Amino acid sequence: MEEFVEFVGKDVDEAISKACEYFQTERDSLEIEILSGGSSGIFGLVGLKKAKVKAKKRENPLEVENKVRDIVQNLTKPIAPNSQINVDLSKDPIYVSIEEEEDAGVLIGKDGQTISAVQYLANRIIAKQCPGISRIQLDAANYRQRQNEKIKQTALALAQRAKRTGKTMKTQPLTSYHRRIIHLTLQKDRGIQTKSLGEGPLKRVLIMPKKKTMRRKPEQLQTRLTQ
Partner 1 sequence: MLKDLIEYIAKSLVDNPDAVKVSEIEGEQTSVIELKVAKEDLGKVIGKQGRTARAMRTILSAASTKAKKRAVLEIIE
Answer for which of 114, 134, 148, 175 binds partner 1 (CB under 8 A) is: 114
Position 34 contacts partner 1 (CB under 8 A): no
Q: How far is the CB of 55 from partner 1 (least distance, A)?
A: 25
Residues binding partner 1: number (CB under 8 A) = 22
Q: Are 143 and 108 contacting, i.e. CB atoms less than 8 angstroms apart?
A: yes
Using the minimum distance from each CB to partner 1, give the nearer residue, 159 or 179: 179
Position 1 contacts partner 1 (CB under 8 A): no
**Selected range binding partner 1 among 61-69, 125-133, 155-163, 180-188, rule: CB under 8 A:** 125-133
Position 222 contacts partner 1 (CB under 8 A): no
Position 74 contacts partner 1 (CB under 8 A): yes
Helix (H, G, I), strand (E, B) or coil at 49: strand
Q: Are 200 and 217 contacting, i.e. CB atoms less than 8 angstroms apart?
A: no
Position 182 contacts partner 1 (CB under 8 A): no
Residue 135's contacts (CB-CB under 8 Å, 6 or more residues apart) are 93, 94, 123, 126, 127
Tell me which residue of 24, 20, 4 sits closest to 12, measured CA to CA. Answer: 20
Answer for which of 107, 138, 162, 181 binds partner 1 (CB under 8 A) is: 107
Q: How far is the CB of 198 from partner 1 (least distance, A)?
A: 15
Distance in angstroms (rounded) separating the CA atoms of residues 119 and 139: 9
Phi-psi region of 41 (alpha: psi -120 to 50; beta: other; left: phi over 0): left
* Burial 55-66, CB ≥16 within 10 A → b, else e: bbeebeeeebbe
The contact set with partner 1 (CB under 8 A) reads: 71, 74-75, 77-80, 103, 106-107, 109, 113-114, 116-118, 120-121, 124-125, 128-129
